[in-house]
Amino acid sequence: MTTQANHQTVSILGIPFINTSQTAFEQILYKRINDQQNTFVVTANPEIVMYAHEHPDYANLIKTADFIVADGIGIVIGAKLLETPVEERITGYDLFESLLKWGDQQHKSAYFVGAKPQVIQKLQEIVRNRYPHLTIAGTHDGYFDDDNQIVNDIRRTSPDMVFVATGYPKQEAFIKKNRDASNALWMGIGGSFDVITGTVKRAPITWQKIHLEWLYRVVKEPARIGRLLVLPKYLLKIIKQRYSKSLTGK
């Protein structure tokens, strides 16, 4: 095990995941936000791990994050197969909701970048209604070629949190390049704006509890089936890593 911002990590195909619980991790983030410590969080699932495995530039990019969290059961299973289990999965969406709630209680501010224009519009209404004491520093949809205007706006408004929901690898590249614009928590959260606005339905809690949320999404959006094909490849790589570990005795 190595450490990530002074916390224990578990390596999965060379990607270091923080090994902690969601509650403990939230406390770490709350403190860092209060201290205005610039923080980059990557929420990584097997798809991201495989993408990083095949794209060394992206792997190096996400390794500059302060924390990489185990977003999904695939990472939890991978860690178990490697005999270096992680405490639990910490999904980007659950973190996002907790941070909005905490940000409301603490009167913090947040900037939102990502999703289609009508989704980001709806997100503003939802945040205003549900989290009235959280200041919306600004918003922008996720379909832009030039990020200058967005970054200048983030610099000007200096938010406590910046949520980037443009999907990987775009969101992590955006954060790596621009995180100096505000001493904030910067987090890439994929399709979370679609979920919170109800544009895409999250699996019912029963499906979530038995860790079949990924299957529910495929049933609802069959076009995503191709994305699932990465899973057997991922598991095979994990088994290879496990085998080479036992050969080298590490």
Are 161 and 108 contacting, i.e. CB atoms less than 8 angstroms apart? yes
Residue 116 engages ligand UDP in binding (rule: CB under 6 A)? yes
Residue from the set 16, 114, 138, 169 that interacts with ligand UDP by CB under 6 A: 114
d(CA 215, CA 203): 9
Binders of ligand UDP among residues 139 to 168 (CB under 6 A) are: 142-143, 165-168
Residue 169 engages ligand UDP in binding (rule: CB under 6 A)? no
Indicate the pairing of strand 7-12 with strand 2-4. Answer: antiparallel
Q: How far is the CB of 170 from ligand UDP (least distance, A)?
A: 6
Residue from the set 112, 193, 214, 234 that interacts with ligand UDP by CB under 6 A: 193
* Closer to ligand UDP by Cβ: residue 16 or 72: 72
Q: How far is the CB of 171 from ligand UDP (least distance, A)?
A: 8
d(CA 83, CA 101): 35
* Closer to ligand UDP by Cβ: residue 66 or 141: 141
Are 29 and 19 contacting, i.e. CB atoms less than 8 angstroms apart? no
Distances (CA, A) of 52 to 3, 138, 160, 227: 19, 30, 28, 15
* Closer to ligand UDP by Cβ: residue 84 or 114: 114
Span from 16-24, 55-63, 124-132, 189-197 in contact with ligand UDP (CB under 6 A): 189-197
Footprint of ligand UDP on this chain (CB under 6 A)? 114-116, 142-143, 165-168, 170, 190-191, 193-194
